[in-house]
């Protein structure tokens, strides 16, 4: 997949080392990646071809979860941490199609995502979008910056899709979720996706080991039990912690994609 568009090189970025946001973009069929990203992306694909279905199923889950939240659940505010490079149907586009007054704050720590962030700032006039360049561990800075756009007295959907897998220590990851969910009121939601070896098998484990030797940031898989630990005190919506492709699938999702991918998806509500 050769790319004719030379990516801009923002400061702090090392194009020689594959980085998750850009490799994820490669698996999604995007254009914002360097040769090192494509090489690692291809090697991982060679070991675990299901990775492409994981990336696509994750985005399709994002669409269904946001449609549910902006529709039935009446959520108007979204805090999307670990946003990734802009692609088709970013959170604000899905949410504002349902609810033009929806307000979205995106957060990522990748310099390349920052460079492309203006593509995420195309809000409807009734709504708003903002972008915060921060590490997910720095919840204080994230909440402070997001308060310029979001009203933390009203429900917020906290979205951590494909993000906690980069926080290797489970206790630290739980602390991040707890601090974020403590900051939002009753009626708020948590949306998670997370890779797992419970659905992927040995090929996925091998691909993750390869990733950790050749790319950044390092990644970890988690079990459904560990995912459940992130949801303490929350009401888990049906159908629970499942392959994200199996979370309320719609007719359009039932094409040639496999019915199960090695990525859990779950939505939970703060009572
Ligand atoms: C697998 S991508 C997922 C993108 C998008 N959420 C999705 O589901 O399609 C993970 C994103 O998390 C970002 N990320 C990884 N570690 C992070 C951290 N500690 N703080 C903020 N963002 C992080 C990466 O830069 C990347 O854009």
**Would you kindly state where each structural domain of the chain is located, as residue ranges?**
18-249+259-270
pLDDT of residue 254: 64
The answer, yes or no, to whether any atom of ligand 1 lies below 6 A from the CB of 136, is yes
Q: In this structure, which residue's CA is closest to atom 3 in ligand 1?
A: 162
The CATH number, out of the four listed (2.60.40.3500, 3.40.50.150, 3.40.190.10, 3.40.50.300), of the domain defined by the range 18-249+259-270: 3.40.50.150
The answer, yes or no, to whether any atom of ligand 1 lies below 6 A from the CB of 108, is yes
Q: In this structure, which residue's CA is closest to atom 11 in ligand 1?
A: 82
Contacts of 251 (CB under 8 A, 6+ apart): none
> Directed axis angle between helix 202-214 and helix 35-47, to 10°?
160
The answer, yes or no, to whether any atom of ligand 1 lies below 6 A from the CB of 32, is no
Q: What is the pTM of this model?
A: 0.95
pLDDT of residue 251: 75
pLDDT of residue 175: 98
The answer, yes or no, to whether any atom of ligand 1 lies below 6 A from the CB of 54, is no
Show pLDDT as tens, one digit a residue, over the chain (271 residues).
344 444 545 566 788 999 999 999 999 999 999 999 999 999 999 999 999 999 999 999 999 999 999 999 999 999 999 999 999 899 999 999 999 999 999 999 999 999 999 888 899 999 999 999 999 999 999 999 999 999 999 999 999 999 999 999 999 999 999 999 999 999 999 999 999 999 977 899 999 999 999 999 999 999 999 999 999 999 999 999 999 999 999 877 666 566 899 999 999 999 9
The answer, yes or no, to whether any atom of ligand 1 lies below 6 A from the CB of 59, is yes
pLDDT of residue 23: 96
In the reported structure, the alpha carbon of residue 125 is separated from the centroid of ligand 1 by a whole-number distance in angstroms of 27
The answer, yes or no, to whether any atom of ligand 1 lies below 6 A from the CB of 21, is yes
User: How far, in Å, CA of 62 to CA of 230, rounded?
Assistant: 18
pLDDT of residue 3: 43
Reduced 3-state DSSP string for the chain: CCCCCCCCCCCCCCCCCEEHHHHHHHHCCCCCCCHHHHHHHHHHHHHCCCHHHHHHHHHHHHHHHHHHHHCCCCCCEEEEECCCCCCCCCHHHHHHHHCCCCEEEEEECCHHHHHCHHHHCCCCCCCEEEEEECCCCCHHHHHHHHCCCCCCCCCCEEEEECCHHHCCCHHHHHHHHHHHHHCCCCCCEEEEEEECCCCCCHHHHHHHHHHHHHEECCCCCCCHHHHHHCCCCCEECCCCCEEHHHCCCCHHHCCCCCCCCCEEEEEEECC
The answer, yes or no, to whether any atom of ligand 1 lies below 6 A from the CB of 20, is yes
Give the number of the atom of ligand 1 that is nearest the alpha carbon of residue 159: 6
């Amino acid at each position: 997949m050769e790319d004719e568009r030379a990516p801009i090189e923002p400061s702090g970025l090392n194009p020689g080392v594959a980085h998750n946001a850009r490799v994820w973009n490669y698996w999604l069929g995007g254009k914002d990646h360097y040769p090192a990203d494509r090489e690692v992306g291809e090697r991982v694909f060679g070991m675990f071809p299901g990775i492409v279905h994981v990336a696509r199923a994750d985005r399709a889950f994002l669409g269904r979860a946001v449609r549910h939240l902006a529709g039935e659940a009446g959520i108007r505010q979204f805090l999307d941490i670990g946003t990734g490079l802009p692609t088709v149907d970013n959170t604000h586009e899905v949410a504002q199609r349902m609810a033009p007054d929806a307000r979205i704050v995106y957060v990522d720590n990748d310099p390349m995502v920052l460079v492309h962030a203006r593509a995420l700032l195309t809000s409807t006039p009734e709504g708003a979008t903002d972008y915060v360049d921060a590490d997910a561990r720095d919840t204080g800075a994230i909440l402070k910056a997001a308060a310029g756009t979001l009203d933390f007295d009203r429900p917020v959907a906290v979205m951590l899709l494909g993000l906690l897998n980069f926080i290797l220590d489970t206790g630290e990851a739980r602390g991040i979720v707890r601090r974020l969910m403590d900051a939002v009121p009753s009626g708020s939601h948590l949306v998670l996706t997370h890779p797992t070896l419970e659905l992927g098998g040995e090929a996925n484990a091998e691909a993750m080991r390869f990733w950790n030797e050749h790319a950044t940031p390092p990644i970890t898989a988690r079990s459904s039990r560990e995912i459940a630990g992130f949801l303490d005190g929350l009401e888990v919506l049906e159908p629970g912690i499942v392959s994200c492709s199996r979370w309320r699938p719609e007719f359009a999702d039932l094409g040639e994609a496999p019915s199960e991918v090695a990525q859990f998806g779950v939505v939970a509500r703060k009572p």
